[in-house]
Chains A and B, each alone.
Chain A
Amino acid sequence: MNSAYKWIGSVGVLVLAIAWVSVLAEFQRSIYSTSTTVGIFALLALPLGLLYGQGGTVSLAQGAFAAIGAYTTAIISTRFNLSPMLSLLPAVVLPALIAFVIAKPILRLPELSLALVTLSIGTVVEVALQRGGDFTGSFNGINGIPTLPFVGNSRIRAHFVIWTVVVVLVIAYVNYMSSLRGRALNAVRTDHLLAEAMGVNVALDLSLLFAITAGVAGLGGWFYAHTLGYVAPDSLSIAVSANVLFMVVVGGRKSVLGPIIGALIFTVASDFLPGTESQGIFFGGILILVLLFSPDGLMTLVPRRWRQRVAASPKPLAVTQAVQTTGAAR
């Protein structure tokens, strides 16, 4: 019974939502396309939700790591004509490795430094891709990237594949947060010294999580490249890193589904904006407002009883009610 509660609230809701969208999509085929985009963004935003929302460590390099993943697979599958499945591993491992190497010296510093450094990483990556000559296709990027073997051009298949991956990641996230490591991560978010005093190797744990976050971003980049068939230096740039942070913050950084909701909000809202130029006005403005008034995101607007907090020890509903009436809220 205990486990059921936390699973229903997160994975259950997600699977239901995916099923519902899939049904809707049968009537409006374009939904599959939008949902694939949301899925790719979810791959970038979800791990950031873990790193930042649960671990208090921001990263503005998700776009850069996704770009590394996307370009890795683009180069391997076009220049060397290898199957996308073979370039999957490097697309995930390369950003993870780079992230791990960079994280160690930086994570001694407070999170603001990390934010600035990750932002600067984005710049360096963008310039490197622009100046990569024929290898990276310069400003024009690389096109003619093959589709995935089991997906082809089918948006339907892409939708199901990506969302299956997202569900697997959500399961992993929930597992992690309900373990002792999850509590430790929250302790790190509260106070690094506190966490260390409980035996947490803060530096190593954060470095590993940072690497995992980068690796999953690389996976997102891999999907991006093979779904769009084309990648350029400004496809997955700093703006994307900022957008991903937007998704996490606005959707709700402390809840598992928050970043996914943020991805949905962002993608759908973008479709309604007059043009990509005005994205900054809209999302920048909203981000400021959310940071100011509701820093834990829109998920906090959902009543506590129904909101799934990934608590390690989920309680039966009766106890929840008792807690509410004794006024043990914040």
Chain B
Amino acid sequence: MYLEIFANGLFLGAIYALFAVPMSVIWVTTDVIDVSVGAYAVVAGVVAAAFGMPYGGLLGVAAAMALGAVTGTIFLGFHTLRTMKDAMPIVLATFAFMLLMESVILVTVGTDNQFVDTIPGIVLLGDSVIGYQGLFNLTLSVVLMLALTVALKYSPVGLRMKACAISSKNASLAGIAVKRTQFLTFVLCAAIAGIGGVLASMSIGMTYASAFTFTTIAFSSAVVLGQRGPLPAFLGGLLIGLTESFSQAVLPNGWAHAVPAALIIIILASGRLPSAAFSGARP
């Protein structure tokens, strides 16, 4: 029985990791906490549900990338129009964008739970039921994470992203097209979130309100291990998934939803994350 809870936690966490990693990469590369990450995921999931797999999934990811491009444009717009002392206005703008997308989804598909066909089939281990869908989620997530790690380390785009993450000023002095790299970061990360969203619509379903929930989960996962970066975010996502799975067994019904939000409050208030992570360039 515990194996099932544990496995389900991992499978859920695999999806959450795909929300957390893009949140983290955008944060590290641009100093922006992109509140609309959850919206990328939900739009992808809704589109997938509307068109059915497999084409719906591809369309969904494409839609997510389009949204990411919009956010990237807004980001560049801010930096072009004014000198940004910190990322606060941009973050507020991504928050507004998320609300906008939630509203669009609400207007187009209403309040119903969005689902797309699950991968059928199960495996029995002792008295634990392990679904193929879950295994697929976990595998895909790990593969994507590995691919991202390799890309960040070896591919030209990845190296540029890393340089921007370390110091955008130095990167631009070194001749890197910082703005273009940052824009690509938004698009790429939206794609990853979109994949997570498609998996979510295959596994747990979602509604328009899930955008904010997913963002909360994404940020919570990104900070829970006390360090910024894609790997801590990935592991954080798995951890949050496990936490939710176990707390559903322990806490009264429904309170599990408050856990990621509570974690954010506790971790930020404890001051474990360095202040520099939040303020960008403060005079």
A7: chain B residues at CB < 8 Å are none
A272 to B244, CA, bound (A): 41
* Of the residues A102, A123, A242, A280, contact of B258 by C-beta under 8 Å: A123
Q: Are A112 and B269 in contact (CB under 8 A)?
A: no
Q: Are A131 and B253 in contact (CB under 8 A)?
A: yes
A283 to B95, CA, bound (A): 11
Query: Size class of B's contact patch?
Result: 35 or more
A130: chain B residues at CB < 8 Å are 254
Interface centre among B78, B87, B268 (most CB of A within 10 A): B268
Q: Are A108 and B271 in contact (CB under 8 A)?
A: yes
The answer to whether A110 and B279 touch (CB under 8 A), given A120-B262, A123-B261, A278-B103, is: yes
Q: Nearest Cβ in chain B — how far from A206, in angstroms?
A: 14
Q: Are B93 and A291 in contact (CB under 8 A)?
A: yes
A113: chain B residues at CB < 8 Å are 268, 273, 275, 278
The answer to whether A110 and B278 touch (CB under 8 A), given A277-B103, A284-B100, A288-B93, is: yes
Kindly state whether residue A106 has any CB partner on chain B within 8 Å: yes
Q: Are A106 and B269 in contact (CB under 8 A)?
A: yes
Kindly state whether residue A191 has any CB partner on chain B within 8 Å: yes
Q: Which of B208-260 contact A (CB under 8 A)?
A: 212, 216, 219, 252-255, 257-258
The answer to whether A293 and B81 touch (CB under 8 A), given A120-B264, A123-B216, A238-B212, is: yes
Q: Are B89 and A280 in contact (CB under 8 A)?
A: no
Kindly state whether residue B86 has any CB partner on chain A within 8 Å: yes
Kindly state whether residue B147 has any CB partner on chain A within 8 Å: no
Q: Are A105 and B269 in contact (CB under 8 A)?
A: yes
The answer to whether A281 and B107 touch (CB under 8 A), given A127-B257, A242-B95, A245-B92, is: yes
Q: Are A279 and B258 in contact (CB under 8 A)?
A: no
Q: Are A292 and B271 in contact (CB under 8 A)?
A: no
Q: Are A279 and B103 in contact (CB under 8 A)?
A: yes
Q: Are B216 and A109 in contact (CB under 8 A)?
A: no
B33: chain A residues at CB < 8 Å are 112, 116
Main secondary structure of the interface of B (DSSP, over half): helix
Q: Are B99 and A242 in contact (CB under 8 A)?
A: yes
Q: Are A280 and B261 in contact (CB under 8 A)?
A: no
The answer to whether A127 and B216 touch (CB under 8 A), given A110-B86, A112-B87, A288-B74, is: no
A280: chain B residues at CB < 8 Å are 99-104, 106
Kindly state whether residue B283 has any CB partner on chain A within 8 Å: yes
A238: chain B residues at CB < 8 Å are 212
Q: Nearest Cβ in chain A — how far from B236, in angstroms?
A: 15
Residue of B with least CB distance to A281: B103
Q: Nearest Cβ in chain A — how far from B242, in angstroms?
A: 20
Q: Nearest Cβ in chain B — how far from A50, in angstroms?
A: 18
A116: chain B residues at CB < 8 Å are 33, 219, 264, 268
* Of the residues A106, A191, A242, A291, contact of B268 by C-beta under 8 Å: A106
A239: chain B residues at CB < 8 Å are 99
Kindly state whether residue A285 has any CB partner on chain B within 8 Å: yes
Q: Are A111 and B100 in contact (CB under 8 A)?
A: no
Contact with B along A248-290 (1 / 0, CB 8 A): 0100000000000000000000000001011111111101100
* Of the residues B100, B103, B104, B264, contact of A117 by C-beta under 8 Å: B264
Residue of B with least CB distance to A249: B92
A123: chain B residues at CB < 8 Å are 212, 216, 257-258, 261
A119 to B261, CA, bound (A): 8
Q: Are B86 and A112 in contact (CB under 8 A)?
A: yes
A76: chain B residues at CB < 8 Å are none
Residue of B with least CB distance to A284: B100
Residue of A with least CB distance to B104: A281
B103: chain A residues at CB < 8 Å are 277-282, 284
What are 26 A-B contacts with C-beta separation under 8 Å?
A58-B92, A105-B270, A105-B271, A109-B269, A109-B278, A110-B275, A112-B86, A112-B88, A113-B268, A113-B273, A115-B92, A116-B33, A116-B268, A117-B265, A119-B216, A120-B262, A123-B257, A127-B255, A130-B254, A242-B96, A277-B107, A280-B100, A280-B102, A282-B103, A288-B97, A292-B81
Task: Write the residues of chain A forming the contact surface with B, with a CB cutoff of 8 angstroms.
Answer: 58, 60, 102, 105-106, 108-113, 115-117, 119-121, 123-124, 127-128, 130-131, 191, 238-239, 242, 245-246, 249, 275, 277-285, 287-288, 291-293, 295
**Beyond A112-B91, A113-B278: 9 further Cβ-contacts under 8 Å?**
A115-B92, A120-B264, A124-B258, A127-B255, A278-B107, A280-B99, A284-B97, A292-B74, A293-B81
